[in-house]
């Protein structure tokens, strides 16, 4: 396409890659959702390449959605990818890189997963997990936090003296997925005391960026289906809190949801009995799943690792290698490079 006679900012001359690059460098890299923007940008560029903004017609958007779904992306994932594209184009229009941003359609996100694990299933998952995944599981139960919050949790934000866990790192702006301050359940104390690294969840002394492989292998060994995801633990804890009659306000606060418009809400965490009913439930659940006392001994750790090797050496009928292609070309956005993915 010849763009020599086009005016600056004309959608026929501005590439999608340029919009994504500027949005990331000028704005998104400073947001808590920075990683989501990088991942979404990679997906968009792998499908759209060097296309210009004017090519984002309704038909092309429909093909983009079909291509993402064909690649195995869920409705929720496709919606997040489209939100990155929408934000990048709006940013380009706001800062006059683009005269007019096209309307970007959304897609249905699908029904939320409703899988709730039994205590026996949680116990089986824990017993078949590798050591670092066991740490993840007990803190997922004890905090009902989302995966990223647990992987970023440090021992320094788990105060044994004040019996409190701050799930939000200092300097990180809160988002709609609020990271709460929750009481430290007594059953979690030995796990905090046993931590020797910078992060609670570490693999060979390194922080863990992804638990996909470890989770999948533990899930398979435990005889659980693919509908069981790390977020299933959060959903299970939330369900059990309500089943145990924990007051709604405590459930909401424990899960990081706002439960009051009062300015005193922020001071509630200083009460000695803060979320005491919720803590009693998760404390009992941790003990039922992981047992009382300190984390796994070297003997149980060796048993788990031997089990991992057995699964790893078993031939699989189908293996799909997913390319980790980064944002390339004119974008200047670096690919996700996790410190460790296990």
**pLDDT tens, residue by residue, 299-342:** 344 444 444 444 444 444 433 333 333 333 444 454 333 344 45
Percent of the chain residues past pLDDT 90, beyond the cut: 59
Helices (H), 222-297: 230-243, 248-254, 276-290
Closest CA to 22 of 102, 82, 84, 97: 97
* DSSP H or E segment with residue 17: helix 16-26
Full-model pTM: 0.63
Higher-confidence position of 186 and 74: 186
Q: Of 175-189, 216-230, 253-267, 312-326, which one has max mean pLDDT?
A: 216-230
Strand order from edge to edge, sheet including 181-183:
158-159, 164-166, 181-183
Side-chain half-sphere of 278: how many Cα atoms within 13 Å?
24
Looking at residue 173, its pLDDT comes to 61
Closest CA to 117 of 256, 257, 225, 250: 225
pLDDT tens per residue across span 34-63? 888 999 999 999 999 899 999 999 999 999
Task: Among 12-16, 64-68, 209-213, 257-261, name the one with the lowest average pLDDT.
Answer: 257-261
* DSSP H or E segment with residue 181: strand 181-183
Looking at residue 120, its pLDDT comes to 96
202 forms beta bridges with 207
Largest CA distance in the chain: 74
Looking at residue 53, its pLDDT comes to 96
Average the pLDDT over 97-113 and give the result. Answer: 86
Locate 324 and state its tokens: 């980790």
Looking at residue 179, its pLDDT comes to 83
Task: Among 144-158, 221-235, 299-313, name the one with the lowest average pLDDT.
Answer: 299-313
Name the pLDDT band for 3 (thresholds 50, 70, 90).
very low
Average the pLDDT over 210-225 and give the result. Answer: 95
Give the integer Cα–Cα distance in Å for 330 and 234: 40
Average the pLDDT over 96-116 and give the result. Answer: 86
Rounded to 5 degrees, what are φ and ψ at 295?
-60, 175
Give the integer Cα–Cα distance in Å for 74 and 235: 19
In the predicted structure, residue 74 carries a pLDDT above the cut 90 = no
Give the integer Cα–Cα distance in Å for 161 and 175: 28
pLDDT tens per residue across span 165-176? 998 876 666 666
Name the pLDDT band for 115 (thresholds 50, 70, 90).
confident
Q: How many residues does the chain have?
A: 342
Q: What is the mean pLDDT of the chain?
A: 82
Looking at residue 43, its pLDDT comes to 93
165 forms beta bridges with 158, 182
**Are 126 and 290 a contacting pair, CB within 8 Å?**
yes
In the predicted structure, residue 188 carries a pLDDT above the cut 60 = yes
Closest CA to 19 of 70, 77, 88: 88
In the predicted structure, residue 271 carries a pLDDT above the cut 80 = no
Rounded to 5 degrees, what are φ and ψ at 203?
-130, 115
Average the pLDDT over 240-258 and give the result. Answer: 88
């Amino acid at each position: 396409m010849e763009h020599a006679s086009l005016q600056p900012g004309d959608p026929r001359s501005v590439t999608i890659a340029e919009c994504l690059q500027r949005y990331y460098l000028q704005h998104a890299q400073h947001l808590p959702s920075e990683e989501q923007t990088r991942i979404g940008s990679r997906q968009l560029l792998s499908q759209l390449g060097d296309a210009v903004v004017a090519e984002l017609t309704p038909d092309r958007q429909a093909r983009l959605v079909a291509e993402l779904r064909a690649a195995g992306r869920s409705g929720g994932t496709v919606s997040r990818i489209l939100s990155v594209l929408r934000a990048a184009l709006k940013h380009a229009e706001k800062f006059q890189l683009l005269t007019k941003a096209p309307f970007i359609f959304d897609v249905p996100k699908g029904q939320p997963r409703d899988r709730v694990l039994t205590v026996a299933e949680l116990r089986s998952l824990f017993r078949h997990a590798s050591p670092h995944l066991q740490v993840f599981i007990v803190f997922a139960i004890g905090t009902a936090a989302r995966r990223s919050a647990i992987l970023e949790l440090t021992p320094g934000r788990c105060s044994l003296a004040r019996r409190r866990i701050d799930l939000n790192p200092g300097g990180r702006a809160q988002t709609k997925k609020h990271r709460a301050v929750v009481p430290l359940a007594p059953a979690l104390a030995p796990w905090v005391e046993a931590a020797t690294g910078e992060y609670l969840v570490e693999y060979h002394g390194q922080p863990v960026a992804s638990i996909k492989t470890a989770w999948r292998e533990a899930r398979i060994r435990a005889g659980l289906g693919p509908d069981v995801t790390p977020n299933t633990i959060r959903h299970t804890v939330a369900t059990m809190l309500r089943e145990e009659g924990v007051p709604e306000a405590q459930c909401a606060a424990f899960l990081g949801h706002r439960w009051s418009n009062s300015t005193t809400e922020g001071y509630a965490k200083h009460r000695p009995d803060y979320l005491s009913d919720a803590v009693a439930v998760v404390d009992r659940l941790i003990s039922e799943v992981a047992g009382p006392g300190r984390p796994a001994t070297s003997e149980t750790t060796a048993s788990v690792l031997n089990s991992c090797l057995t699964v790893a050496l078993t031939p699989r009928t189908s293996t799909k290698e997913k390319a980790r292609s980064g944002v390339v070309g004119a974008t200047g956005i670096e690919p996700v490079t996790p410190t460790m993915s296990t």
